[in-house]
Structure 1
Amino acid sequence: MRRRTGLAMAGVAALAWGEWWNWRWSRTLVGTSGGAAEAVVVLGYRNPQATANFINRWRVRAGIRSITPDSARATRVIFSGGATSSAAAEAQLMAEHATSVLGFDGTVLLEDQSRTTWENITNVIPLLEDVDRIKIVSQPAHALKARAYLRRQRPDLAKRLVRADDYRPGEWLIGKPLLALYGLWTLRCLQADERKAKASL
């Protein structure tokens, strides 16, 4: 009985730990920039098949729900990601899912050449120059990495970063401990101030 209780408590603690890290990352390196023009950048995930995979489908949904309701007409959704195999580019597959499956009829732009997160940011910068708010959508750790890269490449644009709706309590609950472990590993490349800075770009 004690062993079962201990295992249950350990499981709850692991879920809470994963939830906390993802919550924290979603709120790091973002500010409160205002203005009407908004860009939502949705980062692709390797997709060798002919249609958007599970992760890319979720990222598309998170990108669309990140659009500020009263700024929908002034929002551009940018799908970013090149081809990782002989299949179509990630950006194209995500855009097709957004328009054909989800019925999204807003402004869509494609960046279909990048193969790394650094290239994602480099290649979308020309599409961000004239917007007031920038939201980057992915799993929270990956989105934080992308925001840090924007901060390195264009600190002036990084001042326009605001929170996306890619973190919700309980969403991906079972997977969040694994996502947190992977996030801690992949974010080793960030500097201490990039991992901790909040709303001070």
Structure 2
Amino acid sequence: MAGAAALIWGEWLNWRWSRALVGSGEGDSEAVVVLGYRNPQATANFVNRWRVRAGIRSIAAGRPHGTRVIFSGGAAGGAAAEARLMADYAKSVLKFDGTVLLEDRSATTWENIANVIPLLEDVDRIKIASQPAHALKARAYLRRRRPDLARRLVRADDYRPGEWMVVKPLLALYGLWTLRGLKADERKVSP
């Protein structure tokens, strides 16, 4: 019984986070920002591969070539930049042939957001793809730095019911810890 409750709680919390600080999004141009995760090896690790898949599936139907995908992350955990490893995975394994931009200097989520802002200025819709708590943290950072751009945020497809279900309670606990600095209005589910 306690195990089932933990699974439901983890699922619910991740669902809530995926729907906070997003709007309905107007306009045609779109950018999907895929945030990197520490990657000490020469190829994209498990977490970065999942984030790339979440980013690619976040592209709105009918817009694969009208959407730019921005991979963000420096060489925080290894010799190669996370952005480069994720882009290589998207192109070579997932066969993604849309527009790809790299931001390869960031070592933190705050830097991810600061460094991708120039790449977001001219788009109507912005999606940030990562695990739901991490994506929420990044959306809050964008809102703090550039409220005008934050109004363009829409939901990425980085939450799916049942996906990662067994580890979602752990992700939820970790998310609660990492999101402790967010204000109450930054955690609310968007209407």
The TM-score, its normalising length taken from structure 1, stands at 0.93
Residue 111 of structure 1 corresponds to 103
The correspondence for 1:10, drawn from 2, 7, 11, is 2
Select between 22-31 and 188-197 the one with higher mean Cα deviation.
188-197
Tell me how far apart the structure 1 counterparts of residues 78 and 137 of structure 2 sit (CA, whole Å): 27
Question: Post-superposition shift, 1:173?
Answer: 0.4
Higher share of residues assigned helix: 1
After TM superposition, give the deviation of residue 85 of structure 1 in Å: 3.8
Secondary structure of the 1:108 match is strand
Q: What's 2:120 paired with?
A: 128
The more displaced of 139-148 and 66-75 is: 66-75
In the alignment, what sits opposite 1:4? none
| Number of matched pairs | 191
CA distance in 1, matches of 2:99, 2:83: 14
1:106-136 deviation per Cα after TM superposition (whole angstroms, max 9, x unaligned): 0000000000000000000000000000000
1:133-191 C-alpha deviation (Å, 9 max, x unpaired): 00000000000000000000000000000000000000000000000000000000111
**What root-mean-square deviation, in Å, do the aligned CA atoms of Structure 1 and Structure 2 show?**
0.8
Query: Residue in 1 aligned with 2:49?
Result: 57
Match of 1:177 in 2: 169
Write the distance in 2 (CA, Å) between the matches of 1:176 and 1:158: 27
Residue number in structure 1 paired with 2:140: 148
Find the residue that maps to 1:34 and give its secondary structure: coil
Which residue of 2 is the match for residue 191 of structure 1? Answer: 183
Aligned to 1:91: 83
Deviations 1:44-68 (A, max 9, x none): 0000000000000000000000000
**TM-score calculated relative to the size of structure 2:** 0.98
4+ residue segments displaced more than 3 Å: none
User: Unaligned stretches of 5+ in structure 1?
Assistant: 1-8
Greater Rg by CA: 1
For 1:100 and 1:57, the matched residues in 2 are separated by 12
Tell me, in whole angstroms, the C-alpha distance in 2 between the residues paired with 1:138 and 1:185: 17
Where 2:187 maps in the other structure, the secondary structure is helix
